[in-house]
Amino acid sequence: MARAFVTKIVTANDLLVGDAVYLTSSNLWSRDFHEAKICLNEDEATRLLDSTNFHQHHIVGAYLADVAARDGRPVELLHFREKFRTKGPSNYFHGKQEFNNQQGVA
Amino acid sequence: MSLEFTQDQNSIIVRDGKFCPPHEQKPGKTIELKSGENFTPADFSDTDIAVIVINVLAFNDGRAFSQAKKIRTSGFKGILRLKGPVIADQYPLAIRCGFDELEISASEAKRQPQFQWSDALKRTRDNYLTRLTEMEVNGDQSELSPA
Amino acid sequence: MYAYNEFDQKFVRQRVSQFREQIEKRLNGSLSEEEFRTLRLMNGLYLQLHAYMLRIAIPYGSLNSDQMRKFAYIADRWDKGYGHFTTRQNIQFNWPKLENVADILDALADVNMHAIQTSGNCVRNVTADHFSGASIDEIEDPRPSAELLRQWSTDHPQFQYLPRKFKIAITGSPNDRAVVKAHDIGLRILRNQQGEVGYQVIIGGGLGRSPFVGHTIREFLPKADLLPYIEAILQVYNLGGRRDNKYKARIKILVHETGIEEITRRVEENFKLQKSEFQKPSDKLIAAIEKRFLAPDFEQSTYENFEAERSESPQFDIFVKRNIADHRRENYAIVTVSLKNIGQTPGDATSEQMRVLADIAQRFSHDELRISHEQNIILPHVQKRHLPEVYKLLQAADLASANIGLISDIIACPGMDYCALATARSIPVAKDISRRFDELKLEHEIGDIKLKISGCINACGHHHLGHIGILGLEKGGIENYQITLGGAADLTMAIGKRAGRGFSAEELLPAIERLIGAYLDLRTSREEVFLSSLKRLGHSPFIEALYPKKESQNVA
């Protein structure tokens, strides 16, 4: 029996900055995974991932990541590696966590 | 090793940093080697061999560089050609290993225009291996105390 | 220090402009990501979890104060104010942007430094004993040989696209401080019966997924034959190494699958051909290079103040006992500066600390610094009379931890806090362990022990070689840590044995505490270090401590 499909989003690293980015429904890349387009089945996921072949001048190494979604939007990345990518390292307050903090202050 | 030699109609020869038309038919045999294919120096002792082509399937398969060097070490004086998806940055390495020319596909040539190859060729000269053979070592016979 | 010349300068500049072009070619589509990846790796540029990472070579671990200051400058200008020193005598910056990398490389070229071949499937930065030129037990300084190998391997036309990466290490002392048996090629300088200096050549060692202790392929290689012999090994490997599976592509697998006898035969046969290709004998080249190694101008001095300070300050005395090694000159000492402060990231130094170290090196260590494979910084030539002052300067910069060789002197790879290949984090584990044993005030009681942590099977943290090794993996969607026991990194190199099932992140620290507790209970005296107890008693009592029976767990 086939395993139940887990909702997915497409992620990659930004070519210029190198940080984690996520593919949105408007076919753009966001630094916030909450804005990512979710794929509800295997075909959709494959198609969306294939579409990134046309984005090679912006991103590197696109792949699919499992998410929990609510109301058609991703709410949580499931793997701990992917959770780390949304924040940054644990030893210094660098990476996305720093950026998010700045946003909060602004 | 095969003796039949097929030059792709759409392929381009890179020689002296320029895109060239294929060679006119030359007297002598052309031998093709696969990347990594074993050979012994005796295989090339036939003076009738004019061209040896080494085929690579991927740019990062570096065996052809050592094959070329070995073929030259064994005394082969004919034309040595590297055929496959080579990138311009590899051109100086190929020359330094003993290749004379490259054969790339038309699409590779389109993606990497001629100036990239002529620029790359300029980087052939200044290298450490050449320098090590030219390094002045005479006159330092006196034992130096360890630093 | 080795004095670079115009050629070296021209070469690195050319390489920077080439890489600048390669970046442009990637942006304009002339190079695919796959091709660019190969080229950027050859220039030390990785793409990690959160950002690019630039790995810069510190050839054979030696640098001067200007070079260290340049690292500080780069850290402040283009990164986040710190750098990470690695087990292969490199420094890594974790936050460069692609658009700045060529500028960073140009800044490095100002001080003759570069990132060439710090990654990729080529011959990597040649590493050497970090006490080279200073240690009391040295037969010959290995750095001129290492410099020759650096020049030979740099942009070597045959060996830029090897089946896999290739690491060479060299030591000039019988006490191996360069882990030569864990490298693709390890070289040990020795004398033969005639008193001539040459190399023992070891090949096929390595860690990672399949750890191997290297095999000796030549008991004694004359110095004159170094390059043709190494060239022969590399050519045999380039043509024969597996390219079908990257986990089986290292030379250790070729040696393992083909057999050392057959590999020896191929290398020796190839060596005969290579000898005619190298017109200049390697010993002559090394002698020419040696001339460019400017030996420190050692001074005579007395050091009553040093002895006085030792008896006055117990803190200083502990520092001397842990962090100072004998120098070949009686009035000098080798200082190891710990980058393992309690609760901090192993191997990290701030730009401010780099500047302090540069200043100290310039004033007190004949302008020399070294990076050790244990991720510490060495001041190789400090007069004993200056040690009290050096200690105070280190203290002021938070660099005076007297913990060399102790349980907090941990080797750890960056793990999943940074590395795209990691399967678990290693930095928090290192921080927790050092904090815990500091709280318990047990560190000095435990004494000499090597604890090493890797965040994946590639073993950058050398966990196989730890007396206690920790390997972070993923199990069932969470981080899981396996413990190995009994590894050793010296000339008796041994690969640690797995103790049993892995531990979750929460279970790990208590497990290490039980393990150390068992050692403290079982040792005959303080003189019996952890590894000796392990050897005397075997692993069973320690495994029992790691995996106690249910009832004893409830009591605890």
ipTM of the complex: 0.93
Whether the predicted pLDDT of B113 surpasses 60: yes
Q: What is the mean pLDDT of residues A79-85?
A: 97
Q: Which residues of C touch A (CB under 8 A)?
A: 26-27, 29, 32-33, 47-52, 80, 82, 94-95, 97-99, 345, 348, 416-418, 425, 427-428, 431, 474, 477-479
**Closest in B62, B129, B146 to C161, CB measured:** B62
* Residues of chain C contacting residue B119, judged by C-beta atoms under 8 Å apart: 21
Q: What is the mean pLDDT of residues C175-186?
A: 95
Range in B19-23, C219-223, C432-436, C495-499 the model is least confident about: B19-23
Q: Does C7 touch chain B (CB under 8 A)?
A: yes
**pLDDT of C441-488, one tens digit each?**
999 999 999 999 999 999 999 999 999 999 999 999 999 999 999 999
**pLDDT of C12-53, one tens digit each?**
999 999 999 999 999 999 999 999 999 999 999 999 999 999
- From start to end of C163-304, where are the E strands? 168-171, 185-191, 197-203, 215-222
Provide the domain limits for residue B45: 11-125
Cβ <8 Å between C157 and B93: yes
Cβ <8 Å between C291 and B140: yes
Cβ <8 Å between B61 and C138: no
In order of their start, the domains of chain C are 6-110 (3.30.70), 142-292 (3.30.413.10), 304-396 (3.90.480.20), 411-555 (3.30.413.10)
Domain-located, residue B146: no
Mutate: best of B37, B56, B63, partner C, most C CBs <10 A: B63
Q: How confident is the model at residue B22 (pLDDT cuts 50, 70, 90)?
A: confident
Interface B-C, measured as beta-carbon pairs within 8 A, has a size of 122
Q: What is the mean pLDDT of residues C248-276?
A: 97
- C and B interact (at least 3 Cβ pairs within 8 A): yes
Q: What is the mean pLDDT of residues C515-525?
A: 98
Chain position carrying tokens 């030996």: C295
Domain-located, residue B136: no
**pLDDT of C96-135, one tens digit each?**
999 999 999 999 999 999 999 999 999 999 999 999 999 9
Q: How confident is the model at residue C294 (pLDDT cuts 50, 70, 90)?
A: confident
Interface A-C, measured as beta-carbon pairs within 8 A, has a size of 71
Kindly report the nearest CA distance between residue C170 and chain B, in angstroms: 16
The whole-number pLDDT of residue C155 equals 96
Average pLDDT, chain C: 96
DSSP annotation string for C40-78: HHHTTEEE-SSSEEEEEE-GGGEEEHHHHHHHHHHHHHH
The whole-number pLDDT of residue A99 equals 78
Please state, as a whole number, how many other Cβ atoms lie within 10 Å of the Cβ of residue C470: 29
The whole-number pLDDT of residue B138 equals 55
Give the rounded percent of residues in chain C with a pLDDT score beyond 90: 95
Whether the predicted pLDDT of C552 surpasses 90: no
- Which chain A residue has its CA at the smallest distance from C430's CA? A91
Give the rounded percent of residues in chain A with a pLDDT score beyond 70: 92
Kindly report the nearest CA distance between residue A18 and chain C, in angstroms: 4
Question: Cα–Cα distances in Å, from C134 out to B39, C81, C186, C297?
Answer: 48, 31, 21, 13
With H, G, I as helix, E, B as strand and everything else as coil, classify residue C538.
Answer: coil
Show which subunits contact B, needing at least 3 CB pairs below 8 angstroms. C
* Residues of chain C contacting residue A78, judged by C-beta atoms under 8 Å apart: 477
* Residues of chain A contacting residue C431, judged by C-beta atoms under 8 Å apart: 91
- Which chain C residue has its CA at the smallest distance from A93's CA? C80
Cβ <8 Å between B147 and C143: yes
Domain-located, residue B133: no
- Which chain B residue has its CA at the smallest distance from C275's CA? B73
Domain-located, residue B33: yes
Chain position carrying tokens 């986990």: C247
Q: What is the mean pLDDT of residues C289-317?
A: 95
**Closest in B59, B129, B147 to C293, CB measured:** B147
The dihedrals phi and psi of A75, each to the nearest 5 degrees, come to -115, -25
Domain-located, residue B4: no
Tokens of C168: 């060479």
- Provide the CATH number for the domain around residue B119: 3.20.20.70
- Long-range contacts from B69-76, C-beta under 8 angstroms, 24+ separation: B69/B97, B69/B98, B69/C157, B69/C158, B69/C235, B70/B39, B70/B41, B70/C235, B70/C273, B71/B39, B71/B44, B71/B98, B72/B97, B72/B98, B73/C273, B73/C277, B74/B41, B74/B44, B75/B41, B75/B44, B76/B44, B76/B49, B76/B52
Q: How far apart are CA C215 and CA C260, in angstroms?
A: 7
Domain-located, residue B113: yes
Whether the predicted pLDDT of C360 surpasses 80: yes
The whole-number pLDDT of residue C253 equals 98
The whole-number pLDDT of residue C400 equals 98
**Closest in B59, B128, B140 to C155, CB measured:** B128
The dihedrals phi and psi of C187, each to the nearest 5 degrees, come to -120, 135
Whether the predicted pLDDT of B143 surpasses 50: no
The whole-number pLDDT of residue C491 equals 79
The whole-number pLDDT of residue A1 equals 52
Cβ <8 Å between B62 and C156: no
Q: What is the mean pLDDT of residues C294-320?
A: 96
**Closest in A13, A17, A91 to C417, CB measured:** A91
The whole-number pLDDT of residue C550 equals 65
Cβ <8 Å between C478 and A80: yes
Tokens of C58: 């510190």
Greater model confidence, B85 or B29: B85
Q: How confident is the model at residue C182 (pLDDT cuts 50, 70, 90)?
A: very high
Q: Which residues of B touch C (CB under 8 A)?
A: 36, 59-63, 65-67, 69-70, 73, 87, 89-90, 92-94, 96-97, 111-112, 116, 119, 123, 126-129, 131-133, 135-137, 140, 143-147
Q: Which residues of A touch C (CB under 8 A)?
A: 13, 15-20, 56-57, 60-61, 78-81, 84-85, 88-92, 94-96
Domain-located, residue B137: no
Q: How confident is the model at residue B43 (pLDDT cuts 50, 70, 90)?
A: confident
Give the rounded percent of residues in chain B with a pLDDT score beyond 90: 63
What angle, rounded to 10 degrees, do the helices at C226-240 and C260-277 form?
120
Whether the predicted pLDDT of C278 surpasses 50: yes
With residue B107 as reference, give the H or E element that holds it.
helix B106-111
The whole-number pLDDT of residue C204 equals 98
**Closest in B66, B132, B144 to C285, CB measured:** B132
Whether the predicted pLDDT of C299 surpasses 60: yes
* Residues of chain C contacting residue B140, judged by C-beta atoms under 8 Å apart: 284, 287-288, 291
For the ranges A47-56, B45-54, B135-144, the one whose mean pLDDT is highest: A47-56
Whether the predicted pLDDT of B2 surpasses 50: no
- Which chain C residue has its CA at the smallest distance from A79's CA? C477
Range in B11-15, B97-101, B130-134 the model is least confident about: B130-134
**Closest in A16, A89, A91 to C50, CB measured:** A89
**pLDDT of C186-222, one tens digit each?**
999 999 999 999 999 999 999 999 999 999 999 999 9
Mutate: best of B34, B70, B137, partner C, most C CBs <10 A: B137
The whole-number pLDDT of residue C94 equals 98
Whether the predicted pLDDT of A101 surpasses 60: no
The whole-number pLDDT of residue B144 equals 38
Whether the predicted pLDDT of B45 surpasses 80: no
Q: How confident is the model at residue B3 (pLDDT cuts 50, 70, 90)?
A: very low
The dihedrals phi and psi of A94, each to the nearest 5 degrees, come to -120, 170
Q: What is the mean pLDDT of residues C509-526?
A: 98
Cβ <8 Å between C48 and A18: yes
The dihedrals phi and psi of C173, each to the nearest 5 degrees, come to -120, 155
* Residues of chain C contacting residue B110, judged by C-beta atoms under 8 Å apart: none
Cβ <8 Å between C238 and B62: yes
Domain-located, residue B147: no
Domain count, chain B: 1
Residue A31 DSSP symbol: S
Residue B33 DSSP symbol: E
In terms of Cβ atoms closer than 10 Å to its own Cβ (0-12, 13-18, 19+), residue C271 is: buried
Cβ <8 Å between C30 and B127: no
Mutate: best of C27, C35, C140, partner B, most B CBs <10 A: C35
- B and A interact (at least 3 Cβ pairs within 8 A): no
Show which subunits contact C, needing at least 3 CB pairs below 8 angstroms. A, B
Whether the predicted pLDDT of C332 surpasses 70: yes
